Amino acid sequence: MEGVTVIDHPLVQHKLTIMRDKETSTASFRRLLREISTLLCYEVTRNLDLTTVEIETPMATIDAPTLEGKKLVFASILRAGNGLLEGMLDLVPAARVAHIGIYRDHETLQPVEYYFKAPENLADRLVIVVDPMLATANSAIAAIEKLKERGARNIRFLCLLAAPEGIERFRAGHPDVPVFTASIDSHLNEKGYIVPGLGDAGDRMYGTK
Ligand code: PRP
Ligand code: URA
């Protein structure tokens, strides 16, 4: 599918299977999400541009590779996005962070926005938006609209699970934003949940149900 990368690394798939299991505890779910997010981060940043910097090793002076451009921005869609954020910051500690408070209304499945805080100069930075679940895509589409209003132009979206219906809507709404996911599941059920999915990501992370 154009613009969509499925991260099929065996460690990602193995950890995802444990997370999907309804018997997996809150503590294990949270730990696995943090572990998996470092692996996903590795893949979503795979083709970042490099430049060189002159350094002296104990043996010689060399032009060595270093990341080009301004610091990355990780934009977490609250709450569940924070589960991906932590592991990504383990790998890229200097990244800037945006928090976007959005939940979806359980009846209408429409996004409800309650918070937005992002670094300045979004136009000059790669913004990686993170949320474990892309279901109807209403939340992700709204979050990215906000980021674009604030100037973001170079955006990627990273999730753990996506529904085919959500990917189609997301790609129609933001065709310039590539999607990275560990799995494209079968479908959405009548309540807008991903099947087979893993249930409600926020509730499973924080034990709120
Ligand atoms: C979940 C998930 C996404 C959204 C996906 O959040 O983390 O943000 O649902 O659904 P959508 O693609 O149909 O919009 P939720 O609304 O449950 O909020 P929470 O993270 O605060 O639990
Ligand atoms: N949000 C979740 O947390 N899980 C789903 O399956 C769909 C939306």
The domain ranges of the chain are 4-48+65-201
The pLDDT value given to residue 141:
98
Contacts of 111 (CB under 8 A, 6+ apart): 102, 103, 104, 105, 138, 139, 141, 142, 143
Residues in CB range of 39: below 8 A, 6 or more apart:
7, 9, 11, 12, 15
Whole-number mean pLDDT of the chain? 97
C-alpha–C-alpha distance, residues 78 and 27, integer Å = 19
Tell how far the Cα of 139 is from the centroid of ligand 1, in angstroms.
Answer: 7
Q: What is the 182 CA–ligand 2 centroid distance (Å)?
A: 15
45 belongs to the catalytic site = no
Q: What is the pLDDT of residues 151-194, one digit of tens each?
A: 999 999 999 999 999 999 999 999 999 999 999 999 999 999 99
pLDDT tens per residue, range 13-44: 999 999 999 999 999 999 999 999 999 999 99
Q: Quote the tokens at residue 73.
A: 């921005």
Pocket residue to mutate for ligand 1, from 104, 189, 195, most atoms within 8 A of Cβ: 104
Q: Please tell me the predicted confidence (pLDDT) of residue 209.
A: 84
Kindly give, in sequence order, each residue whose CB lies less than 8 Å from that of residue 207, ignoring residues fewer than 6 positions away: 26
**How high is the pLDDT of residue 9?**
97
Of 26, 108, 176, 208, the catalytic one is: 108
Average pLDDT over residues 100-115: 96
- The answer on pLDDT for 199 being more than 90 is yes
Q: Is 111 in the pocket of ligand 2 (CB under 6 A)?
A: no
What pLDDT shows up at residue 67?
96
Query: What are the two backbone dihedrals, phi and then psi, of residue 201, each rounded to the nearest 5 degrees?
Result: -60, -45
Annotated catalytic, 63?
no
For residue 206, which atom of ligand 1 is closest to its CA? Answer: 22
pLDDT at position 89:
97
Query: What dotted CATH number matches 4-48+65-201?
Result: 3.40.50.2020
What band does 202 get if pLDDT is binned at 50, 70 and 90?
A: very high
Residue 111 has pLDDT above 90, yes or no: yes
- pTM, 2 dp: 0.97
Please tell me the residue having the least CA distance from ligand 1 atom 15: 103
Residue 1 has pLDDT above 90, yes or no: no
